[in-house]
Every structure is written in C-alpha cells, then in structure tokens.
Amino acid sequence: SYRWYGDETWMMLSWKSLFTHGVATVPIAIGSTLQSSPGLLLGSGWISALLYGLPQLILPPDLNIVNMGRTVSFLIGLITLILLCWTAYRLKVSNFLALFVAALLLSSTSFLFATHSARYDAITGFAVLAFVSFFALRVRNTIEKTRRDLRDPKGGLFYLFFGFCSIAIALTISPH
C-alpha cells in the first residue's frame, strides 16, 4: 500500500517510524534527504505519531496507509466540531448561532481539506480550538459574576467568534 501520494505517504511512514523506533525517517525514500530524520525541522511529531502511526501498527498491514490517515483526520474533524458545539453550549450561545458557526466551519474548503487528508492540519485546528475554548470558558466564568449579557464584547459570544476565526486562520495557513 506504499504509493507515493506526496505529503500523505511520507508523513504516514515517518510517524510510524517515529512511533516504533523513536526516529522520524521515511524508509521508502532511499537515497533522498527524507531517508534520514529531519530532526526538529518538522517540530515535535509525537502526538501525530501516536494518532497516525499507531493505527498502522494495530491494523492489518495490507490496508492502505493513506486511507488510514485520512480516517484519523476525519475523526479529528468530528471531534473538533463536537468541541465547537460543546463550547457554544457551555457559553450559552443560541442553538441557531452555534449551528451556523459549525456550518461555516464545515463549508470551508480548508476544513474539508484538513479533515480529508492524511496530514496533521486537523490536529493543529483542534489544538487552537481547544486552547481558545478553554480560555473562553475560564474568562466567561470570571466575567459572569459581573456581566450576564453574552452579547457584551467581553462576553462568551465574542470569544466563540474569536475561536472560530482562530480555527479558520490556523487551517488556511500552511504548516510548512
């Protein structure tokens, strides 16, 4: 199942190598610079190695590794949407507005690409949303003591919009 799809194949093989041997290498890139570890060039790939490399070791080896990676990215996208809706619920945003924001995210080509390719872009988007959600909820709990109106610029609605914009920006900027 090792066909050269570009980023998807070498990333999947690199994450499997990192997870199994502790070194990110691409074993099928004989004679190229990808055969040896890029070091810190790709940053810390341990989370990606766990999410994308572990299924390659658990599932049968005759399965297409790119499809495995795309499935992982799709599941991360679903978890991102769930987190977005959960955060909106916790911030007491109207159901209509929460669904509208989720529909905006679903309709963006960047989100579609990130959740349908075997790359770590979806993890980046999830991490940004998790960060913004955590702090929006913390700020809301603090502000709620003095302000009850979520439409206030310092209320939860502002931070939900801020989080959506952060996700959109994170998914439109290439991680390279």
Model confidence pLDDT, tens digit, residues 107-159: 988 888 888 888 888 888 888 888 888 888 877 666 555 555 555 555 567 76
Q: Give just the sign of the alpha carbon dihedral 80, 130, 109, 7.
A: negative
Model confidence pLDDT, tens digit, residues 75-110: 999 999 999 999 999 888 888 988 998 999 999 888
Give the whole-angstrom CA distance, residue 72 versus residue 79. Answer: 11
The amino acid at residue 158 is: F
Number of H helices, E strands in the chain: 8, 0
| Of 84, 64, 77, the residue nearest 114 (C-alpha) | 77
Q: pTM for the complete prediction?
A: 0.69
